[in-house]
A and B are shown apart, each in its own frame.
Chain A
Amino acid sequence: MLVKKSLLLALVLVLGVGMYFTPNVLSATKTLTVWLQADAVRLPGYELVIKRFEEAHPDIKIELTNVPGGWSDLYRKLLAAFAAGTAPDVLYGKGYWITEFADKGLILDLHKYFIRDQKELNASSFFFNHLMIGSSYKGHIYGLPRGEYWYTPGYNVDLFKQAGIVRPPNTWEEFRTVANKLSNPDKKQWGFALSTYSRVDPVCVEAVLDTWTRQAGGQIMSIDKKTGKPTYNLLSKEAKEAFKFVVDNIYVYKNTMPPELEGSWETLIYNGQIAMWWLHGGHISRFRKGAPNLNFSSFIMPKKVNRATYIADNKFMINTKTKYPEEAWSLIKWFTSKDMEALVAPYEGHLSVWKENWKLPVFQHPAYQGMIRQFSLPETIPFQTHPGWESVRGAIARELQKAIFGKATVEEALQSAQKVAEEELQKIYGK
């Protein structure tokens, strides 16, 4: 009798535990796991979108995980999760992750879904198509873009007025003249500041070299269309000219905030000690909250040969191993739709990929106007990356910083940057 009771109890326990861990066996609800990275300002926007999705799709439940610590932490955790087989169904990350994840076969090829549903998507938009280039790898689509951004120059309108400067600079020469006029390093006043000097990552390279080289008419990287293999040329006339322009602004003309004060960048802008700076959508929403009295706007890139800059975005991607690809596709289409981008816009700050949303009140701030004009220019270029892009760019950033911090000449820094770029590429692609 005791044995029978014990067996019955054990059976009940096993069934109970089994049912706890396999809820979908009995329930029709499908659960999608989503990982993203958002601060306290943005997260409520994303949660709202998810709530609306669940209301519209009662058979789908979303388990949202906000990974703290920033994009780099999210990237590392995702890779560890992929290796462990615990990666989420849907992930939201930087556009340039597409190359790495797709190369390793970790994310789903969305080509067939895109072709099937392209009328629903923003496929007629210039920006969307621009960003779709960055969503592709070897001709296949792996992500849906949202929240476009990149740096455009921002400026303190009041400082310009006080100095009698009637309009933002139009060319590199005007830019330097304006920056010189608005600088007084002894009083900790600078005409210009980059927001990143010392980060050992791709953003530093874009900020101090890549974008400027494009404006000078060159490019530091090209990708072979057939093989997908990149070639770096950091020793071109344009790259030298561009980097020298940036470094001379710091040390010769002293019109740019020194790199040692990078940690104080935002405070100095709020205090009116920096007249022009690199600005993106996330900064706009942050500045409006952090310094409501700051009268700032943006302008298009000053011209050398052209006004080139990049356009970037974040992407929704789907795990190759998801059990619910259609549901995951529904979710990412939902998140990147016009209405949902409009819903998130007040929380996030990044410009919507939908042109129709630019009429929203949140995007009427003057700082967005320069951004919109910049992104509308034909010189605006989509990001192109390659496997190992982060490690190559990180290695290049390290060498460039030697000149940024005044420890090497421009020529020396570019020479060593070229050398390390070739070494990194050799590790990735072989000889």
Chain B
Amino acid sequence: MSNIRRRYLRETLTNYAFIAPAIAGVLIFHLIPMVTSLFLSLTRYDVVSSPKFIGLNNYKTMVADPLWRKSIFNTCYYVGVTLPIRLIIALIAAVLLDQKVRGITIFRVIFYLPSITAGVAISLLWKLIFQPTYGLANSLLAHFGIQGPAWLGDPKWAMPSIIIMMSLNIGQFMLIFLAGLQSVPTYLYEAVQLDGGNRWHQFKYVTIPFLTPVIFLNIVIGIIEMVQMFTQAYVMTGGGPMDATLVYVMYIYQRAFQWLEMGYASSLAWFLFIVLLVLTIMQFKLSGRWVYYESAGGRR
């Protein structure tokens, strides 16, 4: 073997050695479990006995399962209401925090801090806030003469309670919007001013179009994250009352770890994966119609 070839081989092996841990991680913690769960989705498996092959029966059961439909409805309800609210509040917060004001960094930290606080801790705190008899929410409402609902104990109000809580979880979106705001060329604001426009016109005709890529990013991330909501439902309501907060991942958890139907739970998980994949692809395909990139005519 020539020297050059030997050196090339050594370099290649060295490079693979460096990325071997990452590849091992992806294989062990992602690919192999995915393939295993695909196989398990075709079986009846209760953890302690061996899996029994049953073909597509789990998928057939899924389609006829009223709780599966309920969990999909609850998840769509949660994402459909919470995501727009979070985006709007995050955008407003980002615009307000994009000021050259002394101490603005402290405010940015304050707004971002809840995003890095443990979800369990926040959920427990909100559970106390929503306590119907002595919680802060009803105590405040009582001051205005309003009798508050039972919040997490009432099937009508349980999901709105979680929506209220999660709508204020804006740190991650706000940070991405802030980064996007930095990329808006300032001369365009001056151009709007020169044309007689006010701050609203600047926001509507300059800021928003330039922010469409980050809005798109936040929507994609937001949907993927929020469809997989679990901690809040598990800690605050356990999926109840009356399955009012039984979101999809909570249902997978119940089937897998409460009823030990690992095969069925795997089929539910694969359905979620396919739906998220299709949704994300669709979003990318549709993004061309409304996302503005500052290159080649503003389109991808």
Contact = CB atoms under 8 A, between A and B. Distances in A.
Interface of A: 72, 76, 79-80, 82-83, 104, 106, 188, 197-200, 258-264, 267-268, 390-391, 394, 398, 401-402, 405, 407
Contact of B239 (A83, A200, A405): A200
20 contacts: A72-B258, A76-B257, A82-B47, A104-B48, A198-B153, A198-B241, A199-B240, A200-B240, A258-B150, A259-B153, A260-B132, A260-B149, A261-B133, A262-B153, A263-B132, A264-B133, A390-B258, A398-B243, A405-B242, A407-B242
A267 B133 contact: yes
Contacts of B257: 76
B240 A198 contact: yes
A106 B260 CA distance: 15
B133 A268 contact: yes
Counting chain B CB atoms within 10 Å of each CB, which of A72, A106, A198, A390 scores highest?
A198
Given A260-B154, A261-B153, A76 B241 contact: no
Contacts of A260: 132, 149-150, 153-154, 241
A333 B149 CA distance: 50
Contacts of B154: 260
Contacts of B18: none
A263 B153 contact: yes
A261 B152 CA distance: 9
A82 B155 CA distance: 37
Contacts of B49: 104
Nearest to A105: B48
Contact of A391 (B48, B131, B132, B259): B259
A405 B154 CA distance: 9
B144 interface: no
Counting chain B CB atoms within 10 Å of each CB, which of A83, A197, A260, A398 scores highest?
A260
Interface in B122-156: 131-134, 149-150, 152-155
Nearest to A398: B243
Nearest to A402: B242
Contacts of B149: 260
A412 B238 CA distance: 25
Contacts of B238: 199-200
A402 B240 CA distance: 12
Interface string B146-182: 0001101111000000000000000000000000000
A76 B253 CA distance: 11
Contacts of A199: 238, 240
Contacts of A82: 47-48
B54 to A, nearest CB: 12
Given A76-B257, A398-B243, A401-B240, 16 more contacts: A79-B48, A82-B48, A198-B241, A198-B242, A199-B238, A199-B240, A200-B239, A259-B153, A259-B241, A260-B149, A260-B154, A261-B133, A261-B153, A263-B153, A401-B241, A405-B242
Contacts of B260: 79
Contacts of A264: 131-134, 153
Contacts of A197: 241
Interface in B44-84: 47-49
A394 B49 CA distance: 22
Contacts of A188: 133
Contacts of A267: 133-134
Contact of A76 (B134, B152, B258): B258
What 3 A-B pairs are tightest by C-beta distance, nearest first?
A260-B150, A260-B153, A198-B241
A191 B132 CA distance: 19
Contacts of A390: 258-259
B48 A263 contact: no
A381 B149 CA distance: 39
B167 to A, nearest CB: 22
Nearest to A197: B241
B252 to A, nearest CB: 14
Interface in B245-281: 257-260
A426 to B, nearest CB: 12
Contact of B48 (A106, A259, A402): A106
A263 B155 contact: no
A259 B240 CA distance: 12
B47 A83 contact: yes
A294 B69 CA distance: 46
A307 B114 CA distance: 53
